[in-house]
Homo-oligomer: A and B are copies of this chain.
Amino acid sequence: MTMTNNDNVLEPPINFSMVDEGVFRSGFPQLSNFPFLQSLQLRSIIYLCPEPYPEESLEFLRSQGIRLFQFGIEGKKERSTSPLIPAETISEALKVLVEIENHPVLIHCKRGKHRTGCLVGCLRKFQNWCLSSALEEYQRFAGEKSRGTDLRFIETFDVLGLRGMPSRHCPPLLLSLCFRKEAFVVQTRVANP
């Protein structure tokens, strides 16, 4: 078996993107995506679906020494309007996500739109992004499947509880966004009273 459809190209998983230094997002990776995933030298994967991970995928993770963190969040039925994203589960996933020892890390669910979009949206709040930018990013990946319940989930999610974690748990870039921003604001205040 060869793990590439075409030796000349790399095939990222559907809806793949780099979120931040050492953090990636995508839909469910297929066999044909493994060579690309290997190029990312992942240390862990955050999987947001309740379904068991396929054996061929587990085999790939074992061969690469990639640790799997599974947080089983049920997919929302098309017609349902009730928010199905559990805040406690997202908080637990976020703690694993900002643990630098788990990086490089890939976050994925099935399509990389709703569950993944909610977790990344909450990460952006943790990074002090303004809400409109976090929601714009969610919508870029969800497209016409964008859900008001997810947007409200991101808006109302409380990240303050995560701020207390030891800094070694937080990647340089994530932290720097907060620190440099504060330094900059002070600086500009002094420069422009």
A residues adjacent to B (C-beta < 8 A)? 1-12, 14-21, 35-36, 38-39, 41, 127-131, 133, 136-137, 140-141, 143, 176-177, 180-181, 184-185, 188-189, 192
Closest Cβ of chain B: how far from A30's Cβ, in Å? 12
Q: Are B185 and A10 in contact (CB under 8 A)?
A: no
**What are the 6 closest A-B residue pairs judged by CB atoms, nearest first?**
A9-B130, A18-B18, A39-B180, A11-B130, A1-B192, A39-B177
Contacts of A127 in B (CB 8 A): 10
Interface residue SS majority, chain A: mixed
Cα–Cα, bound, A12→B12 (Å): 25
Contacts of A19 in B (CB 8 A): 18
Contacts of A21 in B (CB 8 A): 18, 21
Closest Cβ of chain B: how far from A183's Cβ, in Å? 9
Contacts of A130 in B (CB 8 A): 5-6, 9-12
Q: Are A181 and B18 in contact (CB under 8 A)?
A: no
Closest B residue by C-beta to A124? B12
Q: Can you name 21 A-B residue pairings with CB atoms under 8 Å?
A: A1-B188, A2-B185, A6-B130, A9-B128, A10-B127, A10-B128, A10-B129, A10-B181, A11-B129, A12-B129, A15-B140, A16-B133, A17-B140, A18-B21, A21-B21, A35-B181, A36-B181, A39-B180, A39-B184, A140-B141, A140-B143
